[in-house]
Chains A and B, each alone.
Chain A
Amino acid sequence: SQQGEEDPQALSIQEGENATMNCSYKTSINNLQWYRQNSGRGLVHLILIRSNEREKHSGRLRVTLDTSKKSSSLLITASRAADTASYFCATDAWNSGYALNFGKGTSLLVTP
């Protein structure tokens, strides 16, 4: 069943601005991951953060995890038009066999 809930559902910003997307989940997790999906394409893994981690960076991406609030955020700094895509958070649990539950996603539009 779907666990993650992202907000906002849609976000429109200009190039150079930062984009922040949030994700909340309901049950205990092992990992939380963020994926990107361009329209009609498969998913690209962006970053994985484990339940015992609080923050992780990868290039222009910064992910935070607050297990007490069951929430995570994805920050994209200095956005580019090429960042336009849908972003999903996904969680798995210790007993899920690595199956992921995806949130509804945030549709990000970056205009030049």
Chain B
Amino acid sequence: GAVVSQHPSRVICKSGTSVKIECRSLDFQATTMFWYRQFPKQSLMLMATSNEGSKATYEQGVEKDKFLINHASLTLSTLTVTSAHPEDSSFYICSASYVSGGPNTGELFFGEGSRLTVL
């Protein structure tokens, strides 16, 4: 199956700093990537939809100036948490859609996630 790589897997930073998380589709082109956030023992909440070459679409309640998303190529999307605070500590997961037109169209492939801890 398609592989999505996410980096870093863990990051610890001080309050007020910015952190960038990368999401790469390794063996396929992803015109659309999605960023999710997951708090402990909770479900995944969609933060934004990232489209290559255009501005990301943010879900209601997600601050676009706080969570900067860039999708500069068909294989890379980045999420930057700006001026991070302890409440931003969470597990961030990206995914990419494998739009083949075949029987598995719509299937999403997920990265391994990035655990952010803001001190």
Interface residues of A (CB under 8 A from B): 1-2, 30-31, 33, 35, 40-45, 48, 88, 90, 92, 97-105, 107
Does the CB pair B45–A42 fall under 8 Å? no
Contacts A30-B106, A33-B107, A41-B112 given: A98-B6 contact, CB under 8 Å? Answer: no
A40 and B115 alpha carbons, distance in the complex (Å): 8
Which 4 A-B pairs have CB atoms at the shortest separation, nearest pair first?
A42-B112, A43-B110, A98-B97, A102-B44
A69 and B89 alpha carbons, distance in the complex (Å): 37
Does the CB pair B104–A104 fall under 8 Å? no
Question: What distance in Å separates the Cβ of A41 from its nearest Cβ neighbour in chain B?
Answer: 6
User: In the complex, what residues of B have CB within 8 A of residue A45's CB?
Assistant: 1, 107-110
Does the CB pair A42–B110 fall under 8 Å? yes
Contacts A40-B115, A97-B49 given: A92-B106 contact, CB under 8 Å? Answer: yes
Does the CB pair A99–B49 fall under 8 Å? yes
Check: B13 CB closer than 8 A to any chain A CB.
Answer: no
Does the CB pair A31–B93 fall under 8 Å? no
Which residue of A31, A88, A104, A105 is within 8 Å of B106 (Cβ)? A31
Closest A residue to B112 by CB, please name it.
A42
Chain B's interface size range is 20 to 34
Q: How many A-B residue pairs have CB under 8 A?
A: 66
Question: What distance in Å separates the Cβ of A40 from its nearest Cβ neighbour in chain B?
Answer: 7
Does the CB pair B46–A100 fall under 8 Å? yes
A7 and B93 alpha carbons, distance in the complex (Å): 23
Which residue of A35, A41, A100 is within 8 Å of B113 (Cβ)? A41
Contacts A43-B93, A88-B43, A105-B43 given: A100-B34 contact, CB under 8 Å? Answer: yes
Does the CB pair B6–A42 fall under 8 Å? yes
Further 11 A-B residue pairs, CB within 8 A, beyond A42-B112, A104-B42 = A2-B43, A33-B108, A40-B91, A41-B112, A42-B110, A44-B110, A45-B108, A97-B97, A100-B44, A102-B43, A102-B44
